[in-house]
Structure 1
Amino acid sequence: MSTHPPETLPQSLPIAAILEKRPSISRWADAYWTATGVIVGERSEPNATLLHTSNGIAQYLYPGLTARLHLDECESYYHNLKAPYPSGYIVASLAADGTPTPYHFTLSFDEANSYLQGSAQVYPVPLPPELYGWVEAYVLEHYAPELRKKRRLTDINDKGH
């Protein structure tokens, strides 16, 4: 199916998440956190690093995440790639003060939804081109969508005979 030999396609890639802290307009929270993207590749800094601040908005880089591909998630990857806005999902736990700590990254909407049903915070991010190409090659190598079959129309006067 694919022109990529299986041995050239890595099963995982290192990821760093970029999260943004903004002042909150709510009286119940001091800050509002969002994810703005991911960077593919190893990072030398082991902990969260402040990247930029401006007008009370701060961006942080969280290294140490890994994108992994699993055969049983191929259908979810396929639907993600066909979505109007293909996404990756950063999964984080929240500290008592609302500060997120990312601990997982997935390309599967189904897996992200499972975390969301639990107590995790899930941040969708746009899929960068290098991740899109990697997932696309994996799906082409390992997945073929099933063709839908039309149901045969039955005559309403037919009593099943």
Structure 2
Amino acid sequence: MQTSALDDRHPTLEVAVVMRRERVVGPAARWQEWRWVLDSVLPDQPGGDGRPRLLADDDGAQRWLHPGFKVQLFTDEAEGYYLNATTEAPCWFVLWRMHEDEAPPARPLLLTLSYNEAGRWLDAQETVEQVPAPDDVVAWMGAFVESHYVVEPRKRRRPQSFRPLIDRFGNAASVSTGDKRGAGDGQG
């Protein structure tokens, strides 16, 4: 992978994304003949005009290369990189959208190696797919994690029975076990 550094705090990889148009098979083909999926993330090649280009067109199945992406590592995402680097299958996360009025319509927008960032994208209802990250990228990410990730010690949670009782306004509250209807006042 080709690396560059805008500065030492934000190491950067230059990559390209390959999107694949494939025929839908089975019962779902009644509604949709083709679908787009993430194919791969590759090292970016210098040069070119930065526009998507068709790599292969085999009987309608297509592969499109989208060059010119930069993936930066940030210290505030170190936990997300740690979670990715220590999983059994480290991966790239790619956010992409359909733009029906463009060719090709499937457009990757953002890439990350952070589990946390990908989770935020998914929470925002975005289309996010993943593909395996190669060993050299995992090693690069792991070196960043080693330098910048500090495991926060777990805080001991107090049992709920020891928490002070407060009302919905944050004022101290008390609990009375007496009869609410005044049974102790001689009436009744």
Give the corresponding residue for 2:12.
Answer: 12
After TM superposition, the score normalised by the length of structure 2 is 0.67
- Is it true that 1:137 corresponds to 2:143 in the alignment? yes
How far 1:36 moved relative to its partner?
2.1
When the two chains are superposed, the root-mean-square deviation of aligned CA atoms in Å is: 2.8
Q: Is the 8 A contact 2:10 2:74 kept in 1?
A: no
2:143 and 2:15 mapped to 1: Cα distance?
18
What does the per-residue CA deviation read over 1:38-93, in whole Å, with 9 as the maximum and x for residues that have no partner? 11234423111111233542211111211111111111111111111101111112
Give the corresponding residue for 2:35.
Answer: 32
How far 1:101 moved relative to its partner?
0.7
Give the corresponding residue for 2:169.
Answer: none
Comparing 61-70 and 117-126, the one that deviates more: 117-126
Aligned length: 149
What does the per-residue CA deviation read over 1:110-135, in whole Å, with 9 as the maximum and x for residues that have no partner? 21122222243212111122321211
1:145 and 1:48 mapped to 2: Cα distance?
40
How far 1:33 moved relative to its partner?
1.5
1:133 and 1:145 mapped to 2: Cα distance?
19
Ranges in structure 1 where 5+ consecutive residues have no aligned partner: 1-6, 152-158
Give the corresponding residue for 1:154.
Answer: none
Q: Is the 8 A contact 1:14 1:41 kept in 2?
A: yes
2:144 and 2:132 mapped to 1: Cα distance?
19
1:40 and 1:55 mapped to 2: Cα distance?
27
The structure with more radius of gyration: 2
What does the per-residue CA deviation read over 1:1-44, in whole Å, with 9 as the maximum and x for residues that have no partner? xxxxxx77862111101111101233332311111211123442
Letter in 1 for 2:98: L
After TM superposition, the score normalised by the length of structure 1 is 0.77
Among all aligned residue pairs of Structure 1 and Structure 2, give the percentage whose two residues are the same amino acid. 28
Q: Kindly tell me: are residues 82 and 63 of structure 1, through their superposed partners in 2, closer, same or farther at Cα, counting changes over 3 Å?
A: same
